[in-house]
Amino acid sequence: MKTSLFPSFSETEYQRRYRHIRHMMAAHELSALIIYGDSAMSRSAQADLHYISNFLGNRPNYALFPVAGEPTLLVQSFNHVPDGQRASIIDDTRFGGTDSAETITHLLHEHGLTTGLIGLVGPMPYTAYLTLSQQLPNVHFRNVTGPYRLLRAHKSDEEVDWMRRGAAFTDAAMFALEDQARPGLSEAQLAAIVENAYLNDGGQSVIHYISTTSMHRSDRCAPAQNHSDRLLQKGDVILTEISAAYWGYAGQILRPISLAEAPTPDYQDLYRVAEEAYYRVAEAIKPGATAQEVLAAGAFIDDTPYTICDSLVHGFGIGLLQPSIRTPATQPQALGEFVFKPNMCVVIQPNIITPDYQKGVQLGNLGLVTETGFDSLQKYPINFVETANH
C-alpha cells in the first residue's frame, strides 16, 4: 500500500473492505466489478470509488475490481492523473483514455474476463453501458449498487473517527453562523461564514444549503441549494443544512435561526413538532429496528396541521445511503426490509412545513447507531437558534 500526502485509512481497513467486497461478489457469482463515480453532490458521488481507492476525483472515473488480483483505477482527465496517483492507494492508477468504457473493455480482455457475470456499481452513463455491452456480448452485467452500498453503510471504527471529524467541522460552521449572522448580509455572505469556519483547519465543503425569509411574510419552507441575492433583515428566519467533511467523510446539521428577534408563535409551533419528531425517531433507531418501525415513529406528523418536504431520515457517509424514510402519508415507495445495525450513520432531519410550502423549519443531526441506540455525532445544541445581532 502506497504512502500518501493525503489522509488515508490503514492497510488493515482496506483489507477488510476488499475482503467484504469479494465475499459479496462471490455471493452474486461475479468475476469483477466496474465501479463508477462522478463529481455530483460536491464529489459525494465519488464515494463508491473512494471506498476502494482513497481518491476523491472531480471527473467521471472508473475502477475495475476483479474478484482475484489487483484493481485498476481509471482517472479522467489527463491533468487529474498525477493528483489521483498521489491520493490513490491503488498501485495501478492511470489515465482512463479518451473513452473510459473502451479502456475498461481492453482491461477485461487482458484479465480474460469476457464471459460470465460482471457487477456494475454506481450510476454509469448509458453510453458507457452500451459500449461495454456491445463490445462484450458474452458478458452479463448485473447492477449490484445496492449490495455494495450496504457494505459502505456499515462503518468501521476508523470510518467513525473520520465521521466525527467531519461532524466537528460542521458544528464549527453552525457556531460561526450563530455568532456572525446579522441584518444586511447576503445569503452568499452566510455561505462564506460557513466555509471560513473549517477550511483553514483542513475541512472540506460538501453542502451549505441556506434559505432566508421573513418570519412575518414567509415564502420559504426548506434550505435552498442555491443562494439568492436577498439581504437579511431583522425578524428573518435562516433555514440551514450544512455538511463539512474530513476527506469526504462529512457531518450534517440542520437548524433554524431567528435573526435579532425571538421566533414568532407560528414558527415556535413548527419547531415544537420538529423537535418532538426528532426525539421520537431517535428513540426508535436502535440495532434490530426496521425502517417500518422508524416510519411509524414519525407517523404522528401526519396528524398535525403540517407535512414534510425533505426526508425524515436517511443513511449517510459518504453521501446518501439507505434507507430514505419519510412519513406514512408522504412515503413514495416501499421501504423494503432494511434493518438498522451498529455503526451505521444516519441523519434525522424533520423538515416540518405548512401544506402550502410557504413556511417551515428543519432540525437535524448526523448520528451513529450504537448498541444502545442513536448517538448524535453533532454536538451543537438542539434548539431554535436565536441571534441578537443587529
Q: Are 297 and 283 in contact (CB under 8 A)?
A: yes
Instruction: Name the phi and psi angles at 280, rounded to 5.
Output: -65, -45
- CATH number for the domain spanning 108: value is 3.40.350.10
Which residue segment(s) compose the domain that 262 sits in? 157-387
* Helix, strand, coil in percent for the chain, rounding step 5: 35, 25, 40
Q: Does some domain include residue 108?
A: yes
**Residues 355, 218: one domain?**
yes
**Residues 350, 222: one domain?**
yes
Per-residue pLDDT at 162 = 99
Of 87, 14, 92, 22, the residue nearest 57 (C-alpha): 87
**Residues 187, 126: one domain?**
no
Q: Does some domain include residue 303?
A: yes
pTM: 0.96
**Residues 108, 164: one domain?**
no
Grid cell in block for residue 41: 453532490
Q: Does some domain include residue 29?
A: yes
User: Which pairs from 282-285 meet CB under 8 Å and 24+ separation?
Assistant: 282/348, 282/367, 282/373, 282/374, 282/376, 283/373, 283/374, 285/313, 285/340, 285/346, 285/348, 285/367, 285/369, 285/373, 285/374
Q: Is the dihedral of CA 327, 333, 334, 338 positive or negative?
A: negative
Per-residue pLDDT at 390 = 58
**Boundary of a domain, candidates 151, 180, 204:** 151
**Residues 146, 35: one domain?**
yes
Q: Does some domain include residue 3?
A: no
Give the number of domains in the chain.
2
**Residues 88, 197: one domain?**
no
Q: Does some domain include residue 4?
A: no
∠ CA 301-305-311, rounded to 5°: 40
DSSP 265-321: HHHHHHHHHHHHHHHHHHHH-STT-BHHHHHHHTGGGGGSS-EESS-SEEEESSSEE
Per-residue pLDDT at 336 = 86
**Boundary of a domain, candidates 129, 151, 173:** 151
Q: Does some domain include residue 1?
A: no
**Residues 360, 317: one domain?**
yes
The pLDDT averaged over each successive group of 10 residues in the chain (390 residues) is 81 98 99 97 94 97 98 97 97 97 98 98 98 98 98 98 99 98 98 99 98 98 97 98 98 98 98 99 98 98 98 98 97 89 99 99 99 98 88
**Residues 249, 119: one domain?**
no
Q: How far apart are CA 221 and CA 223, in angstroms?
A: 7
Q: Does some domain include residue 336?
A: yes
Contacts of 300 (CB under 8 A, 6+ apart): 276, 277, 280
b/e string for 288-319 if b means 16 or more Cβ within 10 A?
ebbbbebbebbeebeeeebbbebbbbbbbbbb
- CATH number for the domain spanning 377: value is 3.90.230.10
Q: Are 107 and 96 in contact (CB under 8 A)?
A: no
**Residues 142, 176: one domain?**
no
Per-residue pLDDT at 358 = 98
Per-residue pLDDT at 2 = 62
**Residues 211, 258: one domain?**
yes
**Residues 173, 317: one domain?**
yes
**Residues 212, 356: one domain?**
yes
**Boundary of a domain, candidates 118, 151, 184:** 151
Grid cell in block for residue 346: 444516519
Q: Are 274 and 192 in contact (CB under 8 A)?
A: no
Q: What is the DSSP code (8-state) at residue 45?
A: G
Per-residue pLDDT at 69 = 95
Per-residue pLDDT at 4 = 66
Per-residue pLDDT at 102 = 98
Q: Does some domain include residue 137?
A: yes
